[in-house]
A and B are shown apart, each in its own frame.
Chain A
């Protein structure tokens, strides 16, 4: 589908500007990785358990679902959009998966495929609502979808989780390890490498950045804007399906209230990872750092038993700082 580009122009826009090296630019590029490193140093100092293989594996496990959903969210935010429905889509996919595999006894691989296809179709629907029904903003279309999907997940299950998958094939990704490394995290790394490749090396990737940077210019230069938008929401929906599969393995269940509020975590991760809320800027690597930042923070909170009230407060402050860094960069580059 994507034709590899011959021009070795990595990270469109960003690569060109990097020569400017304004303080805002530097902060936007290196702020999040630096923050993550400092956080890790702090936690290593404060908790003897932080830098242990078990704990690192824990962080990998705990961040997998948010990482997968955030990759879809990144594609959407790159087009200056937003997908509020990712958590609800994941819940609908996981309850559909559980209904098929547990209640109806459908073959595990068929159920997994259905889960992924359902996510993809729901994502396509998000894209169609936005581009064909001309709803004013993705905030509206995905807000609607969020409620529809959550409602359907609750109806499908009668409000109770459906638990205990009979076939270990369903729970493999979410629960198993290969040489001490959670399979879910291996999947995350593979997906992010693929995401990085598509965004930086293919025409499709370039079109996504172009649509987010300036939709009018993108349209005039012959890019099919509607098709690109439908594509990013489809990707986000598909990622919700993949996330559902990981979740199913992790909790061995299909809970209808899964992923409540997780859309906000994914948006936070993408923004902390240096993507611009105005579209056209952001990388898969940056998003991964944003995801790890949140996961390490939550892990550290638990290790040090920081009261919940302060956790909420701190995450809020970090989001504001991350967005302010983006504002600084925009100001200094203009």
Chain B
């Protein structure tokens, strides 16, 4: 009896929290939330994902036998109804975050567009669960799928698993995150260095030699942020801009704000900042606003908050990448590989600097 009390209390607490979660589904009419709602809407395709996933998974054994039969006639020119479907699992880092859901959306759409494709979208429960991703990949190898499309959670730790795929004769296409694995069929993803360069070049064009600029970057040692920083740094240096600070703020808005306050204190005549993600850029923008300074700030990701801020004339811009393209091109190229066609080893899914001038293309506000 006595022991039941805390358990009941816990149940009440969790049901309260869950009710709070349920509230999220309530639509709102506030215009400011509209862009925020947009990515939330990806939950809808995500909710569809399992539905789209279930049939192929259930059919998997049948599909496998069919493919083995098809193996005797490789690269058949005709893509008629007699052709067996190609099993293409798309395994991302986690299927729980908005970013990966958008990647999955592109993959599933590309799969639906081609009747030979049997696309399944999979991911571990978190980006840190590398073991979970390895298990997912191993299961697909056991199923003898036709092509593996993988966004590796850790490039090094997944290499032995890639080797297993190779031994099983399954081609591996890497998406989003590259790995130093010589046998990959291709890498398809954002060229982060090129993206950073876009920001650097914008400043090179709009500032003059000797002007003070700074870089606020994400977690130290993270290859993605390293590449973004390098692209911007090289372009700024080439233009003779004076980089007075390169400081980490762990991709966090509050930290980005603190770092910017301090950089501004030491460099009151700062002209521009490049932040390697939007959260830090938005924090930096808050700091500049509070200090009553007009400073050019460019972020990375073009997330809804950043676009709203660009629209309001606060952020100068944000480098957009195209996660949906990553999923789409991943599946399209996997199909080519399954049909025996050759594809390029490095496919850039593109980056574009979003500023006030081309905002309409990226903002889906009514």
- Chain A residues near B (Cβ < 8 Å): 47, 49, 52, 54-55, 58, 61-62, 65, 96, 99, 102-105, 121-122, 124-125, 128, 132-133, 152, 154-164, 166, 175, 247, 250-253, 255, 257-258, 260-261, 298-299, 301-305, 307-309, 311-312
Q: Which residue from chain B places its CB closest to the CB of A162 in the assembled complex?
A: B36
Q: Shortest distance in angstroms between B95's beta carbon and chain A's nearest beta carbon?
A: 12
Instruction: Give the distance in Å from the alpha carbon of A62 to the alpha carbon of B201 in the complex.
Output: 32
Set of chain B residues within 8 Å of A58, measured between Cβ atoms: 258, 261-262, 265
A residues less than 8 Å from B303 (CB atoms): 160
B21 touches A152 (CB 8 A): yes
Q: Could you list some 21 contacts between A and B, CB below 8 A?
A: A55-B262, A55-B265, A58-B262, A61-B258, A96-B20, A99-B23, A105-B30, A132-B5, A154-B96, A158-B40, A158-B43, A160-B39, A163-B305, A164-B32, A251-B253, A251-B254, A253-B305, A257-B252, A298-B262, A305-B246, A308-B247
Q: Give the complex CA separation of A102 and B304 in angstroms.
A: 15
| B259 / chain A contacts, CB cutoff of 8 Å | 302
Q: Which B residues between 3 and 22 are near A, CB-CB below 8 angstroms?
A: 3, 5-6, 9-10, 13, 16-17, 20-21
- Pair count A-B, CB < 8 A: 149
User: Known contacts A160-B36, A252-B286, A255-B279: does B24 contact A301 (CB below 8 Å)?
Assistant: no
* Beta-carbon contact of A253 and B253 below 8 Å: yes
Any chain A CB within 8 A of the CB of B282? yes
Judged by a CB distance under 8 angstroms, whether B26 is at the interface is yes
**Which of B23, B24, B252 contacts A158, CB < 8 Å?**
B24
Q: Is the CB of B304 within 8 A of A160?
A: yes
Are A61 and B261 in contact, with the CB atoms below 8 A?
Answer: yes
Residue of A whose beta carbon sits closest to that of B39: A160
Q: Is the interface of B mostly helix, strand, loop or mixed?
A: helix
Q: CB-CB < 8 A to A154: which residues of B? A: 96-97
A303 touches B266 (CB 8 A): yes
Q: Are A125 and B13 in contact (CB under 8 A)?
A: yes
When distances are taken between beta carbons in the complex, the residues of chain A under 8 Å from B248 are 308, 311
Q: In the assembled complex, which residues on chain A have CB atoms less than 8 Å from the CB atom of B283?
A: 251
Q: Measured between C-beta atoms, what is the minimum distance from A311 to chain B in Å? A: 8
Closest to A128 in B: B6
Say yes or no: is B88 at the interface (Cβ < 8 Å to chain A).
no
**Chain B, 228-258, contact with A by CB distance < 8 Å: what is the 0/1 string?**
0000000000000000111110111110011
Best-buried of B246, B254, B262 by chain A (most CB within 10 Å): B262
